[in-house]
Structure 1
Amino acid sequence: MNNFYEKMVLLLPTLSEEEVQEAVNKISSVITENGGEILKIDNWGKRKLAYKLNKQNMGYYVLFLFKAPSSAIKKMEQFYRVYDPVFKFMIIKLTKQQIAALPPDIKGIPVEPSEVTPKV
């Protein structure tokens, strides 16, 4: 069974627009090659970081929403550790409540919002 994940990737601010797109394509292929399915990619562009990170003050923020088997996550993490354009990443497994809150244009959601009990 595939789980839903959200992944934020910070790319080096020195990359050109073409290099950013190339990195996004490479990251996307790593997801799909490991049995994942990309639901949405949101490029937030170049932004100032809240604090200096790996000697960087700026970075390109790219958010990926995808489904993948849990075994794929470890392979993705290994890839990011050696892929130079990525200087920070975070992968979060979404809960049923978070999945239910996704926009309706995201296909293949296994949980309907009405099936999720609200937190009290």
Structure 2
Amino acid sequence: MREYETMFILNPDLEDDITEEIVENIKNTIDESKGEISNIDKWGTKKLAYELDDHKAGYYTVINFNGKGETVDELERVYRLNDNILRFIILRDEQ
């Protein structure tokens, strides 16, 4: 398995419980697709450099995990299906 880092930006107008539900859904997606989470860092709401879908801020979360190609594919699929995720990125750690 390889090491990855993913960051996603959520709609800042969501209720706290909905935000937590989305983060839990992402964590479950990683776990169910044979990934292992090593760290979760919730940055909270930050100002964006430019507007995304009429939002000037976003809720940032960074997750470090170990996984395979299918883990990354499933995670990307889940990101694309959720309209509350404004942006996301998945990077492979080159250590």
TM-score using structure 2 length: 0.94
- Which amino acid is 1:7 matched to? T
- Which residue number corresponds to residue 3 of structure 2? 4
Deviations 1:42-76 (A, max 9, x none): 10001110111232211000000000112221111
Matched, 1:15 2:14: yes
Instruction: Answer 1 or 2: higher relative contact order, Cα 8 Å, separation at least 6.
Output: 2
Flag as ranges the 4+ runs of structure 1 deviating above 4 A: none
Counterpart AA for 2:9: L
Q: What residue is the counterpart of 1:29 in the other structure?
A: 28
Q: Which amino acid aligns with 2:60?
A: Y
Q: What residue is the counterpart of 2:55 in the other structure?
A: 56
- 1:78 deviates by 1.2
CA deviation profile, 1:3-56 (whole Å, cap 9, x unmatched)? 100100100011111111111100000011111011111100011101112322
Q: How much is the aligned-residue C-alpha RMSD, in angstroms?
A: 0.9
- Letter of the 1:54 counterpart: D
State which structure, 1 or 2, has the greater radius of gyration over its C-alpha atoms. 1
Partner of 1:80: 79
Identity fraction in percent: 35
| Number of matched pairs | 95
Structure 1, unaligned runs of 5 or more: 97-120
Q: Distance in 2 between matches of 1:78 and 1:52?
A: 24
TM-score for both structures, normalised by structure 1: 0.75
Tell me the CA shift for residue 86 of structure 1: 1.1
**Where does the alignment leave 5 or more consecutive residues of structure 2 unmatched?**
none
The letter for the 2-side match of 1:65 is N
| Residue 105 (structure 1) aligns with | none
Rounded Cα–Cα distance in structure 1 between residues aligned with 2:88 and 2:14: 16
